[in-house]
Structure 1
């Protein structure tokens, strides 16, 4: 009983939210690099170039690019077994369509992965985490099939370079965000459904072919998909509310259906037929989708939604999608996200029952405003309580329901900029970084109370959750 002996405890970051050094060592611009800072609750402005008088949070972030050795040493002190991180595609191919890779970028990540290995930390690498090379916008980004080949050139390059160093890969971060925030998911500027569904198909195809290439290069490679863990409860037993909840589930999970089963579900094909949406499938593509199904499912989990007959299914936003309902049984975070540990167990069961594949929680955490005390300490018991309750729910899914959970990498072990707004005040980490929303600060790292708690959790393999 309890967590498996080889359970992968750790944390997760994204290159565009932690690295900074946005043009260092030959890196090109990405979509994340042209997203301006915004105040909480206000969508971030997007430009196709750089306004030198504006503040772009990703340009310096928390400077993990230069301080990765210090940060990984701190992760190792907590006892990490796994570090989920991403490669910035535009560090390897600065324009996305370059014929040759950037050696300095390749060398940087090689050093990062070797540093992980020194501490016995298994890297799990996301190939595309919300940062499409800006140079690909001239093609229409993922709406253009040519981008599939550019992505596969990048994949083959890193699979070959890091053979034997990296064994776990994820193709596209939160791939279903294509339906809620297409710019983030794939650099899509024209957001009509025909364009976004064509872009989603090209990512499905790219992922399937990447899986095949990864297995060809190294049979030890395991390639997973990454789902933004949207899951919903019906607002009431009203049959219309129940149907709306099923519609919501279909809308979100069809991405998993394609990547795990290798084909589009019937309900989605009928929807496309009704709407006149054409999927740009060519000869051989259906076979590639089936041949390139993923080895495991990874997902983020922050909240559950409540859905009913008044829900508009045309969602926008990254995580806090508007459904028209609030769950009166749940508390919310400072950012209005429902806090629902039991929902994690529910989602683990839903995904395993549906796909019968190993699962891994690669994002789960609490964004909050932390207070630095006069003595320099940060007492974040609210974060400990949140994580404890979710780990207990995960443990029940393993012990009671028999769900094969590979690991848990909380988001994010060190404070990083927020994906949707770029702010620093929304902090997730066990490690505080001295930077504010305008990028001012020393960048010094400080251990929070939760740092020492998570160390005990890992040492006890999830059995000691007290603080």
Structure 2
């Protein structure tokens, strides 16, 4: 109980505006993020080919909560200059964006380079340069060309070569203006939710099999692209390259229960360690507990070969150390309640391989069922990364909260306030080396299978208007002040009036 009493006390201090720290250290940077498929639209314009999300939304529209798609989205293909104006208003240091593989290489391969794709991203990068806004560029944010999915997608080892060719072209064409690259955004989502389930496109429900084939290919592809940049482009372009790993953080529901504590560690190794351990740990390779659990489950299923196998010595060495910075996408915390098979786990599956039961019954509400507001969970994840991976430099590449479209988005502001406070706590109290923070997202966009029913933007986008007008929410002004002062805003206008009344009483 003492653990949770401490958490409740810290949250109360935050709500009352009595946070221990408010000022960010010198050199800390702030930005916002988007992804190509979620904002660009122009899905079949000027040579762009179909990607896996185009195929999913057009052939199975019932899988999207509100029936929307990315055909037009925020129309950033035509309105990118408005996006840059929003960035200027916010005063951000950098803009995290992603490139559309299908817009640049319509076949997915290097045999044909689409000149309009090159033009579009050159125009965007030049517009950012005019405003002294640094681009942080993601090579792959889930929108695989359908032509490559038809060949097996990330379950096909040939994707290592295709991804390397694509990255090589991007480094060559755009690298003179890009100092920071991300290879993959959220590899867990790519592999588990798209090849081990139907939660993300291409929705290949190969649970317990396809997800692990995907991770083998993806980690090798990441490593090859890192080495390509490191050996060929870094000496000339002098940039850095990393991967953005996402994680729900798992806590024991009872911190005094040793079994739950042990299971939470296993769950975090399965979630975050799945992709972080091969890259950031001293020994490399998949976490030992993953290999052990999957081997045991595979044997019980009568399989001769485990569904997940450790990399050989060559690949352990080739993958280890292939990221200059640890990119972290984090939104929420869930709880471990005990051992067993989670009720929603399929057989076989990644979730069943963990051997723990989880719950989302913790923290505050958002507009997303899966997103529980638990700021202290973020602090615990950051401390865990420091101790688990030898104190790596960390960049928060996504963090944010959803709404239903309201302009006075006090819940989002409070989310930012509380999560940023926890980042300051771990920087100053625990010495965690956090370099920067990226808010998700610049504007309401196509939120994958949620469509536009859940909105994460600092700007509201009216998708019923063909002009796709953007309107600043109150959180945009909050973030603008944060960027200008490098300090968590304390203004009363950013506090929920209902909370202010309770505080004054």
TM-score normalised according to structure 2 size: 0.81
Q: Secondary structure at the match of 2:436?
A: strand
Q: Name the residue aligned to 1:401.
A: 430
2:425 is equivalent to residue 385 of structure 1: no
Contact 2:90 2:479 (C-alpha < 8 Å) held by counterparts: yes
Write the distance in 2 (CA, Å) between the matches of 1:344 and 1:243. Answer: 19
Write the distance in 1 (CA, Å) between the matches of 2:421 and 2:313. Answer: 47
- Map of 1:131-142 to 2, 5 A cutoff? 131-142=143-154
2:402 is equivalent to residue 367 of structure 1: yes
Q: Secondary structure at the match of 2:438?
A: strand
2:222 is equivalent to residue 194 of structure 1: no
Gaps of 5+ in 1: 46-53, 372-377
CA gap of 1:112–1:312, structure 2 versus 1, over 3 A, is farther
User: Per-residue deviation at 1:243?
Assistant: 3.0
Write the distance in 1 (CA, Å) between the matches of 2:457 and 2:210. Answer: 36
User: Per-residue deviation at 1:35?
Assistant: 2.7
Write the distance in 2 (CA, Å) between the matches of 1:184 and 1:94. Answer: 25
User: Per-residue deviation at 1:268?
Assistant: 2.6
2:246 is equivalent to residue 228 of structure 1: yes
User: Per-residue deviation at 1:360?
Assistant: 1.2
Write the distance in 2 (CA, Å) between the matches of 1:345 and 1:419. Answer: 27
User: Per-residue deviation at 1:184?
Assistant: 6.8
- 1:110-153 deviations in whole A, cap 9, x for unaligned? 21111111111111111111111100122211111111101100
Write the distance in 2 (CA, Å) between the matches of 1:33 and 1:184. Answer: 15
Q: Secondary structure at the match of 1:171?
A: strand
Contact 1:225 1:259 (C-alpha < 8 Å) held by counterparts: no
Q: Which of the pair has more CA radius of gyration?
A: 2
Q: Name the residue aligned to 2:121.
A: 109
Write the distance in 1 (CA, Å) between the matches of 2:109 and 2:59. Answer: 30
Q: Secondary structure at the match of 1:20?
A: coil
Find the partner of 1:348 among 346, 371, 382.
382
User: Per-residue deviation at 1:56?
Assistant: 5.1
Contact 2:251 2:377 (C-alpha < 8 Å) held by counterparts: no
- 1:201-221 deviations in whole A, cap 9, x for unaligned? 110000011111112212422
Write the distance in 2 (CA, Å) between the matches of 1:259 and 1:15. Answer: 26
CA gap of 1:379–1:405, structure 2 versus 1, over 3 A, is same
- Map of 1:229-244 to 2, 5 A cutoff? 229-236=247-254, 237-244=256-263
CA RMSD in angstroms comes to: 2.8
Write the distance in 1 (CA, Å) between the matches of 2:361 and 2:203. Answer: 32
Stretch moving more, 426-435 or 269-278: 269-278
User: Per-residue deviation at 1:323?
Assistant: 5.1
Report the count of equivalent residues: 443
CA gap of 1:71–1:403, structure 2 versus 1, over 3 A, is same
Q: Name the residue aligned to 2:95.
A: 83
Contact 1:300 1:361 (C-alpha < 8 Å) held by counterparts: yes
Write the distance in 2 (CA, Å) between the matches of 1:187 and 1:279. Answer: 24
CA gap of 1:287–1:343, structure 2 versus 1, over 3 A, is closer
- 1:316-361 deviations in whole A, cap 9, x for unaligned? 99xxxx9542445x22213232111122211111112211211111
Contact 1:163 1:218 (C-alpha < 8 Å) held by counterparts: no
Find the partner of 1:9 among 27, 30, 41.
30
Write the distance in 2 (CA, Å) between the matches of 1:173 and 1:288. Answer: 20
User: Per-residue deviation at 1:224?
Assistant: 1.2
Contact 1:186 1:199 (C-alpha < 8 Å) held by counterparts: no
CA gap of 1:286–1:459, structure 2 versus 1, over 3 A, is same
Q: Name the residue aligned to 1:431.
A: 459
Stretch moving more, 331-340 or 76-85: 331-340
Find the partner of 1:269 among 283, 291, 295.
291
Find the partner of 1:288 among 313, 318, 341.
318
User: Per-residue deviation at 1:193?
Assistant: 2.3
CA gap of 1:300–1:226, structure 2 versus 1, over 3 A, is same
Q: Name the residue aligned to 1:218.
A: 234
Find the partner of 1:301 among 330, 333, 355.
330
Q: Name the residue aligned to 1:35.
A: 56
CA gap of 1:431–1:251, structure 2 versus 1, over 3 A, is same
Write the distance in 2 (CA, Å) between the matches of 1:465 and 1:157. Answer: 46
Gaps of 5+ in 2: 1-20, 299-305, 350-355, 495-505
CA gap of 1:38–1:229, structure 2 versus 1, over 3 A, is farther
Write the distance in 2 (CA, Å) between the matches of 1:197 and 1:188. Answer: 15
Find the partner of 2:192 among 168, 171, 179.
179
CA gap of 1:244–1:407, structure 2 versus 1, over 3 A, is same
2:484 is equivalent to residue 459 of structure 1: yes
Instruction: Please state which structure has a larger fraction of its residues in helix.
Output: 2
Stretch moving more, 186-195 or 219-228: 186-195
User: Per-residue deviation at 1:397?
Assistant: 1.5
Write the distance in 1 (CA, Å) between the matches of 2:174 and 2:239. Answer: 11
Write the distance in 1 (CA, Å) between the matches of 2:444 and 2:59. Answer: 18
CA gap of 1:448–1:215, structure 2 versus 1, over 3 A, is same
Write the distance in 2 (CA, Å) between the matches of 1:123 and 1:441. Answer: 28
